Structure 1
Amino acid sequence: MSKNILFPFTAMSSNDPAMKEVARHFKKAGANVVQAEVNPAIRRTSGIAYREIHLSFTDSQIVTLRIKETGDIYQVLLNKKVVPIRDQDDHSAAIKEVAKLMERGRAAFQRKLAKVRVALPSSVKTAAPKMEALLVQRRDSLAAEIAAIDSELEALAAG
């Protein structure tokens, strides 16, 4: 097994053997890749040309690998934040390191996802307003029945 996984920069696609090897290394490290997608656009930052590979995992975390023209991993983004990697020259060790970072930050990431409010589309109608009106009406009718029974009990106790 080689230390580095070299990506074919010019012909990078989701079906490359390198992509399958990355998914296999992540699975071995305990993080299952659900979707792997290669961005076809070549980007440039600080004089370095790179392409991005987006990996989605079962817990909704996203890892983006930025690949240089040489086929090496240039930068890693975990949930859209740049993550420093200690083992840059050993890709399998770097993948294990990223998987550990994902595990360590999973609880905070899940809390953050739980706080996000998603607005329903206007075409979706909920029964909540009707249900609330129905429950208020039922509460009022039960209160009236309880008041009637209380008055009847008072009449029986007095008589």
Structure 2
Amino acid sequence: MAANLLFSFDDLSRKDKAVRDVEKYFRRAGANPVSVDVDSRVKRTSGVSYREIGLTFSDSQVVKLRVKRPGDIFQVLLNRKVVPMANQDDHVKAIGEIVQAMDRGRTAFQKRLSRARVELPKRMKTAAPRMEKRLEAKRDALREAVDDARQQLAELRPVS
């Protein structure tokens, strides 16, 4: 028996039974969603009106389910890329496919995340320049203390 989810397009929210079921099926498949967001706006692509359900997982991967007006999922995006489904009629198997795709692409996704450069806001100042000056002053003071200790040691050694 195929397990199909039917979403209520007009009343789609985080509390919808189908949304909770999607979350439950992802957990069973081994991927725990950290947050689930339901977009309140109706969007349109290629002549299809849809609303999005976004699931964010602990490794920062994002799955977006696009639900069209009759209440079924017509497109799945994994990290902003469309994922084709072999088992589109059985949602539980389709969720299993999505989790497998997440597992396959996890290392590449993590590499992409690590290369992403994050710009600091212009108003935000870092403490690095002041910290560097403080550490340089501390280093110089330690060098002087070591030089003084060497001089005292040299004075205390008996001359042979």
Measured against the shorter chain, the TM-score band is: 0.7 to 0.9
What is the CA deviation profile of residues 30-52 of structure 1, one whole-angstrom value per residue up to 9, with x for unaligned ones? 01112212112222222222111
Give the whole-Å Cα distance in 1 for the aligned partners of 2:129 and 2:11: 54
Larger mean CA deviation between 100-109 and 113-122 belongs to 113-122
How many residue pairs get matched? 159
Give the whole-Å Cα distance in 1 for the aligned partners of 2:68 and 2:29: 24
- Name the residue aligned to 1:107: 107
- Name the residue aligned to 1:85: 85
Give the whole-Å Cα distance in 2 for the aligned partners of 1:26 and 1:117: 30
User: What secondary structure, in the 3-state scheme, does the structure 2 residue paired with 1:15 have?
Assistant: coil
Give the whole-Å Cα distance in 1 for the aligned partners of 2:52 and 2:122: 35
- Name the residue aligned to 2:58: 58
- Name the residue aligned to 1:153: 154
Return 5+ residue gaps in structure 1 as ranges. none
Give the whole-Å Cα distance in 2 for the aligned partners of 1:113 and 1:29: 24
What is the CA deviation profile of residues 106-131 of structure 1, one whole-angstrom value per residue up to 9, with x for unaligned ones? 22222322233333445555432222
What is the CA deviation profile of residues 17-72 of structure 1, one whole-angstrom value per residue up to 9, with x for unaligned ones? 00011001000000111221211222222222211111111221110001122222
User: What secondary structure, in the 3-state scheme, does the structure 1 residue paired with 2:64 have?
Assistant: strand
Give TM-score, length-normalised by structure 2: 0.84
Give the whole-Å Cα distance in 2 for the aligned partners of 1:98 and 1:45: 22
Give the whole-Å Cα distance in 2 for the aligned partners of 1:92 and 1:119: 40
Larger mean CA deviation between 146-155 and 71-80 belongs to 146-155
Larger mean CA deviation between 14-23 and 111-120 belongs to 111-120
Aligned-residue Cα RMSD (Å) equals 2.5
- Counting only pairs closer than 5 Å after superposition, residues 44-55 of structure 1 correspond to structure 2 as 44-55=44-55
- Name the residue aligned to 1:140: 140
Give TM-score, length-normalised by structure 1: 0.84
Percent identity, aligned pairs only?
Answer: 48
Return 5+ residue gaps in structure 2 as ranges. none
User: What secondary structure, in the 3-state scheme, does the structure 1 residue paired with 2:105 have?
Assistant: helix
